[in-house]
Copies of this chain bind each other. A is one copy, B any other.
Amino acid sequence: MSDFKNVSLKKEANIYYDGKVTSRTIEFEDGSIKSLGVMLPGEYTFGTNEAEIMEMLSGELEIRLPNEDWKTLNTPETFEIGANSSFDLKIKTVTDYCCSYIK
């Protein structure tokens, strides 16, 4: 099956917004970290520490990055968020995603 091999996985979920946004954290052999998550329809704001690359695996959303206007993104689009930043999301349909943290 499997798209990621030889990874380590934290058992407990990361749970935000009463469970409307959840993710699992995975660590690769080279020490890099990704999270795989699901966002249900709703409006959310998230902050970053490290820069992030978000790959949409399913769903449609609107995003507002710092100093930008709202824009609509559909699967399989990808977006990047800078380090120490924040961004707003309006999730339109259930969005499955893979988030890569950039050191």
State the A residues within 8 Å of B (CB): 1-13, 15, 18-20, 22, 24-27, 36, 38, 40, 57-58, 94, 96, 98
Contacts and interface: CB of A to CB of B under 8 A. Distances in A.
Contact of A6 (B8, B10, B13, B15): B8
A10 B3 contact: yes
Copies of the polypeptide in the assembly: 2
A36 B20 contact: no
Given A18-B94, A20-B40, A94-B19, A2 B8 contact: yes
Given A24-B36, A38-B22, A94-B19, A3 B13 contact: no
B9 A25 contact: no
B2 A9 contact: yes
A11 B3 contact: yes
Given A24-B24, A27-B1, A36-B24, A94 B15 contact: yes
